[in-house]
Amino acid sequence: MKSIYDITLSSLEEYFLENGEKKFKATQTFEWIYKKRIKSFDDFSNVKKDTIQLLKKQFKFTHLKLVAKTSDTDVAKYLFELEDTNKIEAVLMNHDYGYSLCVSTQVGCNMGCKFCESGRLKKVRNLNTHEMVEQILAIEELEKIRISHVVLMGIGEPFDNYQNVINFIDIINSPKGIDIGARHITVSTSGLVPRIKDFMEHGKQVNLAISLHAPNNEIRNKIMPINQAYPLEELFKVLKEYISKTNRRVTFEYILLEGINDSKECALELANLVKGMNCYINLIPYNETSHIEFKRTPQDKIMAFYDTLKKNKINVTIRREFGHEVKAACGQLRSNYEEAR
């Protein structure tokens, strides 16, 4: 039996039509579960009993179990337990433009990025669509807030769980669903070229972010194994196609690692790599963990890297830092919890 949070509006419409019901029953159902946040089919007060029985035949309500929460100024991190007892994380950030939630898409990750805590614990499985949707629902209920922005940058590689992620986007973007604007949703990928090609055909105005973290293949091969399958030449070819087809700007995420990718030469290489593209670079000070040897670039070198890009007319920002005190590095809370056990 499927979770009711697994199904998109169009798929639910098809289900009702196949069973001799009117299509509008799907809209009714979505309004009860996403607008009114009702958690029992029996509480759908304006829906016929036959329709409720049809829903019960195929679907059930599910929920995540909150295991731990840590918080600091403008940030909170949540560790959830799934039905199979696996653990995932979500991070809530309070910006001046509203609440943004970073959601996980997998239990563990197989991309193996050397600097990433979540990649230290290998992929166990993909998250189902409902397990991503429920991260939003659980935190909105817990904190009594409305989440306005979602980033798929938690544990896992979103494009390694492509169809479930697309279904998740459809549900949270639907005006009848959670109703988060497409331009307020960002998907981050380490560079799965075939899925980027699929994504450019999807048609929604969702933001695309690329975990780049190196200006050349030599450095990227050392810290991101994905680059050996899809080197920068192949990645940038598809990104230029993506920008041309969608007319959407691409974000490049660039974590600065002391002595690895933070020199002035690296900044100049990076500027040449992205020059002329509709993009901007988001420089990220590294959030050190006890399990990984990489160190954070000192603030003066971060600023020098930033200034070099600016002087070369590259759109660049330095990400506001959250969560030193809440183990907000991706996968860190889950990793520490498992080790403590």
Give the residue numbers annotated as catalytic, written as ranges.
Answer: 89, 330
**Contacts with 14 (C-beta within 8 Å, 6 or more apart), sequence order:** none
Are the C-beta atoms of residues 150 and 184 closer than 8 Å to each other?
yes
How many angstroms separate the CA atoms of 116 and 294, rounded? 10
Euclidean distance between the first and final Cα of the chain, in Å? 32
Are the C-beta atoms of residues 164 and 132 closer than 8 Å to each other?
yes
313: left (phi over 0), alpha (psi -120 to 50) or beta: left
H helix or E strand, kind and range, residue 254? strand 250-256
The Cα-based distances of 256 to 89, 259, 300 in angstroms read 23, 9, 12
Are the C-beta atoms of residues 223 and 114 closer than 8 Å to each other?
yes
Are the C-beta atoms of residues 202 and 195 closer than 8 Å to each other?
no
Cβ neighbourhood burial of 138 (10 Å; 0-12, 13-18, 19+): middle
Find, among 110, 147, 336, 73, the residue nearest to 225 by Cα. 110
Cβ neighbourhood burial of 57 (10 Å; 0-12, 13-18, 19+): exposed
Are the C-beta atoms of residues 337 and 79 closer than 8 Å to each other?
yes
